Amino acid sequence: MGTASGIIKALNSGVRHIATKRFTFRYPEQKLKFVGDGYQFDPESGVGIAGYKGRHILFHDKCTGCQLCSIACEEIAEAIAMPKVEEEWKHNKKSIMPQIDYGKCVFCGLCVDACPFYALYMTNDYELSSFTKEGLIYTPAQLQVKPQIDQDVEIQIDEKGAKHG
Amino acid sequence: MSGQVYPKDTKVLPGLQLEKVDDRIMTLNVGPQHPGSGHMRIIIKVDGDYIVHCDPDPGYVHRGEEKMAEYRNYITNIPHLERPVIHDSCNILYPYCLGVEELLGIEVSERAKYIRVIAAELNRCVYIQYWLAIYGIFLGHSTMFMWPVGDRELMIDLLDKMTGARVTHAYFVPGGVRNDIPANFEDMCLRQVNYFEKRLKEYADVFYDNPILISRTKDTGVLSREDAIKLGTTGSVLRASGVDFDIRKKEPYDVYEELDFQTNVLKEGDSYARSKIPWLDMLESCRIIRDALQKMPKSGSVRVKLKPKPKAGDTEVYRRVESGRGSLGMHIVSRNNPQPYRLKISVPSFRNLIAMPHLLTGEKLGNLPPVYWSLNYWPVEADR
């Protein structure tokens, strides 16, 4: 192949993309949709359920304060502390629940794998930035809140190419 | 000290050599802050435009992964062990999981093996696209930077749906994988692979068949077959020099022997061949993924339940896999503890680095970027 024809071929390949629709989208206004409600784990079968590993959600009515999540995190990120909570639950005698420092968390989800009581899951929420270090520490009360997220962009790939919809 | 021009009372710190001004040879430090060097320094001596001496200086991102592994148990080792190559995180966990499974005597289910192969091949594509983008931009080809980075994003989205994280998946675990694939994954994956294969052909039009790239990289940094074997290189560097060596074929792990694929070998051994092999590998990965999706059992368990802190006996094991850069091995020594007694990671990047002084000596200084990046070198992995 000659030099000229090679360069024309390369230019032609690029030019063809001028008119095609892009698959990139405007991030803060539009957000990508994930599978499911986040990473969950079924301790009975020992297998997780596919989902995004974002900020955790804690179910206070299920947490027994057994500290297994904290022990799992000890060798990984040391992000989970077990402070005392005001609430009184019959199944949580010590009244302690996980508090997660997202300045340390690596979002591996092994704490979710460690929980035997279906109390700790992960959600699709990944926007956790804060102006202070203290703002990154989520107390049990903050972890209880289900995140309000509006993720609806899906990328469609077909024979013609990729585009977002 | 004939050319000494410094005043006689100049104090020279021990270990620091002052350069003579009228010397012909000049020393250049490429890196560690130069964007083209990665997290490493290459000390080169140039005579005019020619490199007469090259001394790579890695170690700026040493994190002590091997020592850290001795204080964590077999499960909590997973998140930090994938840090050296976050773009190829499935492949760096692969030998670890295979090794620990052998130590603990776990038999992984068939479906989990196929899922692992698919995840590893997707990850290989993600890694190679990232590498290709860097290779493109340092040769001044900005389209080749934009395209792979954009297409890589689609592949990351797919892995995201599968594993739950964009780059550091922590997906492989001794005993299988963390979670089953989502419901419509096979369809999404097939469409992605078909699209990706079409894009790869466009990469060839705009980059690999481009006469400008060919004239830039052909016959630069030629590594002969004998030298490649002697220097102990691996992966794409070895295969570009005409040695047919791929762990997936030579020591098949998991289900690679049941899958239909071939290894790509080129004879030239120059910078162009070394950059083309990963591209051929990506095409091969597409074939593997398609084949694996077809042959995968449609249902079944994907993870073997382990005890909280599994203990292995008084043995040791060495397993290796073919990662995006070459053979990646892990030697795990167990002494009846929940933690490994010793974990040694043999990384392909470090093994390919040894070819750098050999290739660069005698080359022009301008050939440094094409030769350096064609070695498929990842500094963070080499330092562990």
Per the prediction, chain B carries an average pLDDT of 85
Count how many pairs of residues, chain A against chain B, have C-beta atoms within 8 Å: 113
A53 to B76: CB separation less than 8 angstroms, yes or no: no
A7 to B210: CB separation less than 8 angstroms, yes or no: yes
Only one residue has tokens 């592949």, namely B155
Only one residue has tokens 């297994």, namely A68
**Structure confidence at residue B9 (pLDDT):** 65
* Residue A124 lies inside a defined structural domain of this protein: yes
The conformation of residue B93, written as its DSSP 8-state character, comes to H
B168 to A50: CB separation less than 8 angstroms, yes or no: no
> Where does the pLDDT of residue B1 fall: very low under 50, low under 70, confident under 90, or very high at 90 and above?
very low
Q: How many CB atoms lie within 10 A of CB B33?
A: 10
* Residue A123 lies inside a defined structural domain of this protein: yes
Is residue B146 predicted with pLDDT exceeding 80? yes
Instruction: Write out chain A residues lying below 8 Å of B157, CB-based.
Output: 32, 155
* Residue A106 lies inside a defined structural domain of this protein: yes
**Which among A39, A96, A156, A55 has a CA at the least distance from the CA of B169?**
A39
> Where does the pLDDT of residue B318 fall: very low under 50, low under 70, confident under 90, or very high at 90 and above?
very high
> Where does the pLDDT of residue A45 fall: very low under 50, low under 70, confident under 90, or very high at 90 and above?
confident
Q: Which residues pair with A81 in a beta bridge?
A: A99
Task: Look up the CATH number of the domain holding residue A112.
Answer: 3.30.70.3270
Is residue B38 predicted with pLDDT exceeding 80? no
Helical H runs in chain B? 65-69, 78-81, 89-104, 110-138, 143-163, 185-203, 211-217, 225-230, 235-240, 247-250, 271-295, 348-353, 355-360, 368-374, 379-383
pLDDT tens digits, B193-241: 888 888 888 888 888 888 888 888 888 888 888 888 888 888 888 899 8
pLDDT tens digits, B24-33: 778 888 878 7
The residues, any chain, with a CB within 8 Å of residue B238's CB and separated by 6 or more, are B228, B229, B245, B326
**Structure confidence at residue B7 (pLDDT):** 61
How many distinct structural domains can be found in chain A?
A: 1
CATH superfamily of B65-349: Cytochrome-c3 Hydrogenase, chain B (1.10.645.10)
* Residue A94 lies inside a defined structural domain of this protein: yes
Q: With a CB-CB cutoff of 8 Å, which residues 80-99 of chain A face chain B?
A: none
Per-residue b/e over B301-320, b at no fewer than 16 CB within 10 Å?
bbbbebeeebebeeebbebb
Question: What average pLDDT does the segment B61-82 reach?
Answer: 88
ipTM > 0.95, yes or no: no
**Which among B141, B133, B110, B306 has a CA at the least distance from the CA of B211?**
B141
Question: What average pLDDT does the segment B47-51 reach?
Answer: 85
Instruction: Write out chain A residues lying below 8 Å of B194, CB-based.
Output: 159
Residue A14 at interface with chain B, using a CB cutoff of 8 Å: yes
pLDDT tens digits, A11-25: 887 788 887 777 888
**Structure confidence at residue B2 (pLDDT):** 45
**Structure confidence at residue B95 (pLDDT):** 92
* Residue A9 lies inside a defined structural domain of this protein: no
Domain of residue A55, residue span: 35-142
Residue A45 at interface with chain B, using a CB cutoff of 8 Å: yes
Instruction: Write out chain A residues lying below 8 Å of B164, CB-based.
Output: 38-39, 50-53, 109, 122
* Residue A12 lies inside a defined structural domain of this protein: no
CA dist A97 and A70 (Å) reads 10
CA dist A73 and A37 (Å) reads 22
> Where does the pLDDT of residue B96 fall: very low under 50, low under 70, confident under 90, or very high at 90 and above?
very high
User: What is the end-to-end Cα distance of chain B in Å, rounded?
Assistant: 41
Question: What average pLDDT does the segment B109-120 reach?
Answer: 90
Is residue B349 predicted with pLDDT exceeding 80? yes
Q: Is A61 exposed, middle or buried (CB count within 10 Å of its CB: 0-12, 13-18, 19+)?
A: exposed
Is residue A82 predicted with pLDDT exceeding 50? yes
Count of positions (residues) in chain B: 384
* Residue A1 lies inside a defined structural domain of this protein: no
